[in-house]
Amino acid sequence: MGLPYRERNVNIISIMLDAPADKINTLAGKLGRLDGVTAKAVYAGMK
């Protein structure tokens, strides 16, 4: 899902994954190495 944040002139893209934490961290790290991109991973507890 993508959301424009016009007041700050940025766009926010969220990606939901069902994957092991190491795979999610690897993806976030690779995305964060792109010019102009900041990546953060947030985890939800599942039962």
| Res 36: pLDDT | 92
Q: Are the C-beta atoms of 21 and 28 separated by less than 8 Å? A: no
The DSSP-derived string for 1-47 is -EEEEGGGTEEEE-----S-HHHHHHHHHHHHTSTT-----------
| Res 33: pLDDT | 97
Among candidate residues 8, 7, 25, the one with its CA nearest the CA of residue 17: 25
- What digits encode the pLDDT tens for the residues 17-38? 999 999 999 999 999 999 999 9
**Single-letter code of the amino acid located at 32:** G
What is the residue extent of each domain of the chain?
1-47
| pTM score of the predicted model | 0.75
Looking at every residue in the chain, the average pLDDT score rounds to 92
Polymer length of the chain: 47
Going by pLDDT thresholds of 50, 70 and 90, the confidence category of residue 44 is: confident
